[in-house]
Amino acid sequence: MSTLSQACQAALITGLALAAGATHAQEAAVTDPYLWLEDVEGEKALDWVKARNAVTEKELASTPQFKQLEAQIRAILDSDAKIPYIGKIGDHYYNFWKDARHERGIWRRTTLESYRSDSPEWETVIDLDALNEAEGENWVWHGADCLPPEYRRCLVALSRGGADADVTREFDLASRDWVDGGFFRDEAKGGLGWIDRDSVYVYTDFGAGSMTESGYPRIVKRWTRGTPMSAAEVVYEGKPDDMYIAAMHDHTPGYERDFVSRTLAFYNDELYLVGPDGGLKKIDAPNSANKSVHKDWLVLELRDPYEAGGRTFPAGSLIAANFDAFMAGGRDFTVLFAPSETTSLAGVTATANRLVLNVLDDVKNDLQVLAPPADGEGEWTRSDFTGQPDGSVNVAAVDADHSDAVWVYSDDYLSPATFAIAGAGEAPQVLKSMPAFFDASTHEVDQFFATSKDGTRVPYFIVKPKDLVLDGSTPTLLYGYGGFEISMTPGYSGSVGKGWLERGGVYAVANIRGGGEYGPRWHQAALKQNRHKAYEDFAAVAKDLVQRGITSPRKLGIQGGSNGGLLMGNMLTQYPELFGAIVVQVPLLDMQRYHKLLAGASWMAEYGNPDKPEEWAFIRTFSPYHLYDPAKDYPPTLFMTSTRDDRVHPGHARKMMAKMLEGGEDVRYYENIEGGHGGSANNKQAAHMSALAYTFLWNQLTD
């Protein structure tokens, strides 16, 4: 399915200043004594980071208990018993794998027959550790795009230290070596995409003025093999205040088409069909809709109501029309999914002849299969997915051009993942199952609903001991995110199990507004001036846990990262009395300057533009850096971030830590030097970061 706008936004999954707004920035420069900490790799700033890290390491990482937990989590992450998830490329099935012997990982392949066995025979294609040693680099895998139908040449993306910015290099699968003089894109945010063997689309940093204010590509070009990139032909040039410009070629046999995507902001994009003469024709669907083209069909996932063909389709619907007829002016749509009060569309997977819909009903998955009419006219047929597994379920096409088979992934909080394959109308055949990494027999899962301040029903999941005594004494960890239409569905985590549940703790996940659990309406309910509703939801869940006797404020810890880090910052500054400890990971915290730091400008559709006085008025109400009051009492807090995070600037966490440290608060700080927005570049670093968080929380909630 041609979903270029989805791909761009997933790579981002996720300003213009008025004259008066510029004054705010000038005032910040004058009044903020910690601006020097925004110098990411400045010597003074890094010396400060190392000093803070040392204090945190001494407090949390020096005990035998910490070292044991870190080793246990590392063993889980490195375990050879984990499922090696595969994807089909040509005649082989590929997997990227990290373990103790391969810290940065190996890209390897096997056959499906061998994969079905207990001990598959793997052929190493790229060894990242060996490559790093040979080149003196610290490459982190960012994926490979291989050219059909031969699938011999691949465009491999590699990142230094895990940053979003990466390089792209051409690789030959037959010789298993880099192509001498092949396509190469230098380090930047952006990418290369195959058109044919001798041409690619390139969207990257071409020099001054070629990137958007969000730090992403503004120009896409067509580049021919054997010519310098500087000679590449411009296909489309966006505006500086756009978010991301890209292009792609749809290789579906018989339906080869080219598209240009102009992303203006999250969930606001334009899609263009590239004509034979290079001219662009806009697909005249709403900017807010997710637009996909699959063979004969244009499929729209609506985020706002849409009037077409004399009908109004509600937000959250999935509708389809014949693509060629639509481009000729027709607006005859078929409704494939319509939301209800409890249901939303979590995803759509296109196979050769079907669409598999993943529907959430009160945050629980239900798979449905749709097939278009054979002659292009008439009704789509609908059926249940045969043999749907229990728990959280996701599907992906095995070979969307030639097969209706899908991969089926399933798990839940207490059930390890299974990986299966299912043909059309067939029950999934389990290929691999993950072993249990912790003893789940002592716990059970429940779903509860809290009532938010405005009366909204807010679901949350809870994993608790079966013999839990409801006296408020149990250490409880509550996790949340609440942004960018991302849903928090149940999933198995060996680290959570080993680091928290086996100790007897309760683990909870809040499905607050801002997320996608009930579709676009749930997301839009907490945008900009309504951001406070997400925080009211999370506070309501915290209070509900206490009212049920599951825990007490002194025993309740919370954790979240990125937008969830902003959530944690607001819990810290607005609801400190509800919590006993807080872990704030890769956070946004200074909401006056967030849009001026790295990718921050791309999130103004979510939060607003602080350079506009009328918007800063409400943004300030959820800017933790400005809400902090040294006269108040705050719970113990751990800030965690990464120097190499080039999405959310580490300056957010650094400055908040510095301000609260000066205020005499009970705070500590840890910044991983590598890792990008994910926080870690290998399993060793991931285990260390997790062990720090769980140790801090357990120490604080059990003292």
Q: Which residues are catalytic?
A: 562, 677
Q: How far apart are the first and last CA of the chain?
A: 53
CA distance 589 to 34: 13
Handedness of CA 34, 35, 36, 42 (dihedral sign): positive
Identity of residue 575: Y
Q: Within 203-357, where are the H helices?
A: 323-327
Q: How far is CA 271 from the centre of its chain?
A: 22
Phi and psi at residue 319, to the nearest 5°: -130, 155
Task: Note whether 161 and 681 are within 8 A (CB).
Answer: yes
Determine the Cα–Cα distance for residues 89 and 93; give it in Å rounded to an integer: 6
DSSP annotation of 549 reads T
Q: Residues 299, 320: contact at Cβ < 8 Å?
A: yes
Q: Are 348 and 356 in contact (CB under 8 A)?
A: yes
Q: Which two tokens stand for residue 275?
A: 């004509």
Place of tokens 């489309």: 236
In degrees, to the nearest 5, what angle opens at C-alpha 323 toward C-alphas 317 and 328? 115
How far are the Cα atoms of 65, 168, 288, 364 from residue 150, in angstroms, in the given order? 53, 20, 36, 39
Sequence-ordered list of residues with C-beta below 8 angstroms from that of 311, at least 6 positions apart, any chain: 333
Measure the CA–CA gap between 536 and 513, rounded to whole angstroms.
9
What residues does 145 pair with on adjacent strands? 155
